Amino acid sequence: MREPEIQKDKSKQKNEATTAKPKSILESFEYIVELAEDSNLDKDFLDKAAGHIRYAARKLKLTPMQTALLAMFVDRSEDSRIMISEIAKYAGCRTTKILRLSDDIDVLEARHYLRASRCRKSLSYRVPAEVLKSLRKNRPYVYEADPVVDTRTFFEVFDRMMDEKEDGEQTHDSLMEQTMDMLREIKDTKFATELRRYGMCDDDKLLFIFMAHLYVENNDDNIGFHDIDNLFDDGNIPGWVKVDFRSRSSVLFDFGLIENVNEDGMARTDAFKLTDKAKTEVLGELNLDTVGSSAKNLIKSAGLPEKRLIYNPDESEQITRLGSILSEQRFSEVQSRLRSAGMRPGFCCIFYGSPGTGKTETVYQLARQTGRDIMRVDVDKIKSCWVGDSEKNIKAVFDRYRNICRRTDLTPILLFNEADAVLGIRMEGATRAVDKMENSIQNIILQEMETLEGIMIATTNLTTNLDKAFERRFLYKIRFEKPSMESRALIWQTMLPGLSEQDARILAMQFDLSGGEIENIARKHSVDAILSGNDTIDIREIIATCHKERISTAPGRRIGF
């Protein structure tokens, strides 16, 4: 279609949007978004969209501008990181104009129509699924906070808030405020009563609650500074915390609530745990022997959803064999034979290949099939800009894994996800501090793999740059290739069950996409179906989405080939 025709078509759509009568909130949003494009969100836009804005604003009890902004956020709800600059670009105005409307966006956040993420020193938003569900039913979303009625519920809610903190949707200040509010809600419990008895300030109280949470949720008796980092914004632990903990001058030591971890008869100044006094007096009502069903960095196998994965024949054979070995009875037999032969009993595997080929999901499905929990390690969160901290962090990972192995009947899987940064070739004669740190981390992992008695699986996109020392230590090395055309067709039909076999083959032939990319397209279709209320699969729309899936391609090269 030529440019004048496109402009004419757009003008016609805008005219139709101006005169249309909305029948639902989502329909009014559709018209508002249509009219908002390149409008600068000026008075003319508000006048043209007045009928649609008035309809939705009355339903949602929002102002006209709040309604218009929410419509544009909902239009991008398939994206979990919606940037203000994207809204500004669509509306044809400067980002500063949207920033001037921050008070309206804050209201949407306060009403829980939006969730803000302030991680990585950037600001983004997402529209929660429960909001879309309410809007689809043509009613406003009403947020209902879970009541905190006892100490167990307190820690369950605190654990969810820490997940939000990790995603950047909580700040240290908001976490502090909500935690103290929850304490007031359960003021008559033994836990809250004991905390009041010590007369600690809120900062020390939150520190103890955070450490207690790690123990309650994970039976964690080895808490390092890399764990405490998570309590603070951008992982910047205040200097006074490190000084007080290293010198044992914190009131948590004075009251006998925490102590240093003892290792080989020596007290570690960088690792801490709750004392027996804290466990019995402050947390006694929780019956701690039975808790720990969920954990930070410990993914429970029982909670993993079943997912059908399509492999190429060679991959399928290797994964089936590995799944058989990791079954409870077979794995014990294999380890016994390795020990009797004087060999390492640890099982180290590497899944490598292109992004989106199912490496991480395969680990999840193996864990689900064999009943093994997963301790997931994201390497980028271990590294620190402080000299020596990264090395301590990686040691702490293996310390924690050993502790979990000792406390569980079935050995969990230690998953190093996207481990490219630590599996590459080591630098010879490294002089830069960052290169020395990389080498130190790699040497620690190599040493730990030698003595590992559990199961370690690393996933990486590296295909040629794997350090030989690591290559020797991985017992199973499974390469994940891009799916063949036949596999792609099966993936398409698995992801979009309503797709005909012929259309699936057309998509498989035309687009050389990975399984992850196909899943992403299927998710976009599902979001569109939720918003429109129409589940029909239009092959033309799917093809158009395929063309948009990859952001950049080489000049002259068609997307998908």
319 shares its domain with 449: yes
310 shares its domain with 420: yes
**How large is the angle between the packed helices 64-75 and 84-91, nearest 10 degrees?**
100
Q: Indicate whether 543 belongs to any domain.
A: yes
> Residue 342 and residue 556: Cα distance in Å, rounded?
58
**Domain assignment of residue 405, given as a range:** 301-480
Is the pLDDT at 28 greater than 70, yes or no?
Answer: yes
> Residue 199 and residue 149: Cα distance in Å, rounded?
23
pLDDT digits (tens, 9 = 90+) for 444-472: 888 899 888 899 999 988 766 677 888 88
Other Cβ atoms within 10 Å of 275 Cβ, number: 17
> Residue 398 and residue 194: Cα distance in Å, rounded?
34
DSSP 8-state assignment for residue 295: B
26 shares its domain with 102: yes
Q: How confident is the model at residue 385 (pLDDT cuts 50, 70, 90)?
A: very low
162 shares its domain with 63: no
- DSSP assignment of 221-264, as one string? --EEHHHHGGGSGGG---HHHHHHHHTT-SHHHHTTSEEEEEET
319 shares its domain with 434: yes
Is residue 471 within 8 Å of 477, Cβ to Cβ? yes
Q: Indicate whether 145 belongs to any domain.
A: no
| Residues whose CB falls within 8 Å of the CB of residue 558, separated by 6 or more in sequence, listed in order | none
Dihedral angle computed from the Cα positions of residues 155, 156, 162 and 166, in that order, rounded to the nearest 10 degrees = 160
Q: How confident is the model at residue 71 (pLDDT cuts 50, 70, 90)?
A: very high
Helix (H) or strand (E) holding 484: none
Phi, psi of 411 (to 5 degrees): -55, 125
Q: How confident is the model at residue 550 (pLDDT cuts 50, 70, 90)?
A: low
Helix (H) or strand (E) holding 351: strand 347-353
Q: How confident is the model at residue 295 (pLDDT cuts 50, 70, 90)?
A: very low
Question: Which tops the pLDDT comparison, 280 or 556?
Answer: 280
Q: Indicate whether 555 belongs to any domain.
A: no
Q: Which residues pair with 349 in a beta bridge?
A: 457, 476
Predicted confidence at residue 490, as pLDDT, reads: 86
CA dihedral (250, 256, 257, 259) positive or negative: positive
312 shares its domain with 411: yes
126 shares its domain with 156: no
Q: Indicate whether 554 belongs to any domain.
A: no
Predicted confidence at residue 123, as pLDDT, reads: 85
Q: How confident is the model at residue 80 (pLDDT cuts 50, 70, 90)?
A: confident
End-to-end Cα distance, the chain: 24
- CB burial string 348-376: b at 16+ within 10 A, e below: bbbbbbeebbbbbbbbbbbbbebebbbbb
> Residue 102 and residue 124: Cα distance in Å, rounded?
12
Of 54-63, 101-110, 200-209, 294-303, the one with minimum mean pLDDT is: 294-303
Here the CATH number for the domain that contains residue 336 is 3.40.50.300
Question: Which tops the pLDDT comparison, 85 or 220?
Answer: 85
Predicted confidence at residue 387, as pLDDT, reads: 47
- With CA atoms as reference, report the closest residue to 529 among 500, 557, 507, 498: 498
CA dihedral (264, 267, 269, 270) positive or negative: positive
Of 189-198, 208-217, 503-512, the one with minimum mean pLDDT is: 503-512
Is the pLDDT at 555 greater than 70, yes or no?
Answer: no
| Residues whose CB falls within 8 Å of the CB of residue 24, separated by 6 or more in sequence, listed in order | 138
Q: 3-state DSSP call for residue 553? A: coil
CA 561 to chain centre: 30
Q: Indicate whether 81 belongs to any domain.
A: yes
Predicted confidence at residue 310, as pLDDT, reads: 85
358 shares its domain with 460: yes
> Residue 294 and residue 217: Cα distance in Å, rounded?
6
Is the pLDDT at 90 greater than 80, yes or no?
Answer: yes
Is the pLDDT at 171 greater than 70, yes or no?
Answer: yes
348 shares its domain with 281: no
Query: What's the token pair of residue 175?
Result: 């976490």
Here the CATH number for the domain that contains residue 275 is 1.10.10
Predicted confidence at residue 556, as pLDDT, reads: 38
Opening angle at CA 384, ends 383 and 389, nearest 5: 100
Q: 3-state DSSP call for residue 293? A: coil
Looking at 480, 496, 517, which one is the last position of a domain? Answer: 480
pLDDT digits (tens, 9 = 90+) for 32-43: 999 999 999 999
340 shares its domain with 313: yes
Query: What's the token pair of residue 511?
Result: 């687009």
280 shares its domain with 319: no
317 shares its domain with 463: yes
Q: Indicate whether 337 belongs to any domain.
A: yes
Q: How confident is the model at residue 511 (pLDDT cuts 50, 70, 90)?
A: confident
Percentage of the chain with pLDDT > 70? 87
Other Cβ atoms within 10 Å of 137 Cβ, number: 12
Mean pLDDT of 131-135: 93
Looking at 226, 259, 293, which one is the last position of a domain? Answer: 293
Looking at 480, 506, 525, which one is the last position of a domain? Answer: 480
Q: Indicate whether 437 belongs to any domain.
A: yes
Query: What's the token pair of residue 204?
Result: 């020390």
Question: Which tops the pLDDT comparison, 450 or 69?
Answer: 69
Helices (H), 326-432: 328-340, 359-370, 379-382, 389-407, 420-423
pTM, whole model, 2 decimals? Answer: 0.49
Question: Which tops the pLDDT comparison, 30 or 468?
Answer: 30
Q: How much is the CA Rg of the chain, to the nearest whole Å?
A: 27
Number of structural domains, the chain?
Answer: 4
Is the pLDDT at 346 greater than 80, yes or no?
Answer: yes
Helix (H) or strand (E) holding 457: strand 455-460
pLDDT digits (tens, 9 = 90+) for 526-544: 777 777 777 778 888 888 8
C-alpha distances out from residue 168 to 72, 171, 203, 229, 267, Å: 22, 7, 20, 13, 34
Highest mean pLDDT among 109-113, 489-493, 535-539: 109-113
pLDDT digits (tens, 9 = 90+) for 227-270: 898 899 877 889 999 999 999 999 999 999 999 988 766 788 88
Predicted confidence at residue 411, as pLDDT, reads: 92
The sheet carrying 223-224 orders its strands as: 223-224, 266-274, 258-263
Mean pLDDT of 121-134: 88
Q: Indicate whether 161 belongs to any domain.
A: yes
Look at strands 223-224 and 266-274 and give their pairing. Answer: antiparallel
